[in-house]
Amino acid sequence: MVDQIDDLNDSLICLKKPIIVLVHCDTEDVTPNCIARFYGANISASGESVSGATENLIDVITLKFKTLRSFKSADLGTEPKRQLAILNSFIMEK
């Protein structure tokens, strides 16, 4: 299933454009488990529903962005630099 993030619900940062996420739910277990993925940035989160997984993904994206921005570029490895570049194309400070 495809879902979309339109707001990060954060007072310091906001989206420049929506983030499209893919959500897969395993409903065969007693407790459903869904995983929401922002493939471009290689970031994912889980939850008990599509909305729960997407909300958790928003939290992970926000935390990842703020954490990566707190480092000097020279101190980041290849994957974190790539993730930050992608997140910078979607997120800006208010």
pLDDT of residue 32: 74
Looking at domain 2-93, which of 1.10.10, 3.20.20, 1.10.287, 3.30.160 is its CATH number? 3.30.160
The domain ranges of the chain are: 2-93
Nearest CA among 39, 50, 46 for reference residue 60: 46
> What distance in Å separates the CA atoms of residue 15 and residue 10, rounded to the nearest whole number?
10
pLDDT tens track for 6-32:
999 999 999 999 999 999 998 777 777
The string of pLDDT tens digits covering residues 37-81 is 999 999 999 999 999 999 999 999 999 999 999 999 999 999 999
pTM attached to this predicted model? 0.93
